Structure 1
């Protein structure tokens, strides 16, 4: 009983990002701890942990849909990832699967400075 209550509370934290062609995409930011020691240059800029954008895809169609999304969002260029969604729910909530949130407030870099900027720059395409 306690587990179902906990699961239901977690469901309430999802925010709708996009809805198209029978597919709803929800997001939830979350801290992610790296499993291995990162590259020393990366550690200096993002530390040993980072934020991820957990994604939940709900495909209400009877057939597969394809989605393409940003793995790391920058203002100038993005690393894109494609995924085939079977009917039902697909959850990307592991550090290596979910998009990485990098917010950097240094002058003249390519990263957003706020989460709202990150969401605006986040690319997400749903295809048949």
Structure 2
């Protein structure tokens, strides 16, 4: 698993990781070494993946998000989702295991579909809906 925690922004870390995923896929037609990445910067901790259960293709996956309390309820996550839609090199964007009830309601109300009946708290993001949101530019 790749780990970033240097002083670079989440944007820079995402670009580095996605580049390594795409390079590995181009070489091997599969991704094993770079399939997940931990990132952190300024009160933000992320686990990103490029594959998830019940989606049979590469996709951008938000597996874990931890935010300092000062960043919570400030629009950071919607801004991050919008950024992920913009940079996603694949067809699908997913969020795994949404335990936060407020976020789960947002997912359902925004037309996000469950990944499957078995993984009912993991969602495929409605990217068209996210692009229509008026959100802050992602700058983390």
Per the normalisation by structure 1, the TM-score is 0.31
Tell me which of the two structures has the higher relative contact order, counting C-alpha pairs closer than 8 angstroms and 6 or more residues apart: 1
More helix by share: 2
Larger Rg: 1
Per the normalisation by structure 2, the TM-score is 0.29
